[in-house]
Homo-oligomer: A and B are copies of this chain.
Amino acid sequence: MLAIGTLSRRTGTKVQTIRYYEEIGLMNEAGRTAGGQRRYDEKDLDRLAFIRHSRQLGFSLDSIRELLDLADNPAQSCSEADSIARRQLGQVEQRIKRLQALKKELRRMVAECDGDSVAECKVLEVLRDHSECLTEHNEIGA
């Protein structure tokens, strides 16, 4: 029987985060001691590790919920898990593209600025005027 702190250490998840996952129904309600403390078994540990690893790979909690449902029913076809992963891959690729456009603008901004007074600062000038930009870059709604 594992205490919440042990789960926390073994998975690198904060104690509050584990309680939060229980609250939103990602983790099952943990069993309790007579005094009311949560106790876990190896299955709980595995589930939490799955969640954390998925988060590290950028999956949303909603996607993780779907993936866990799939993992709980081993008889189904895995094509759904596959498509969740593909969707995630697509999103990551989109974000990379957007960030690369940003990077380009930022580099140009920084490179052209020669450290004179604010009045002729290239950085501020570019920020003031979007038409100075070469690319479409938009991090809002990323």
Q: Interface residues, chain A, CB within 8 Å of chain B? A: 46, 49-50, 53-58, 67, 70-71, 73-79, 81-82, 84-86, 88-89, 92-93, 95-96, 99-100, 102-103, 105-107, 109-110, 113, 115-121, 123-124, 127-130, 137-140
Would you mind naming 25 contact pairs between A and B with Cβ atoms under 8 Å apart? A49-B128, A50-B127, A53-B127, A53-B128, A53-B129, A53-B130, A56-B130, A58-B102, A67-B123, A67-B124, A74-B119, A75-B118, A77-B115, A77-B116, A78-B120, A78-B121, A81-B113, A81-B124, A82-B110, A82-B113, A82-B115, A86-B110, A88-B106, A92-B99, A99-B99
**Copies of this chain assembled into the complex:** 2
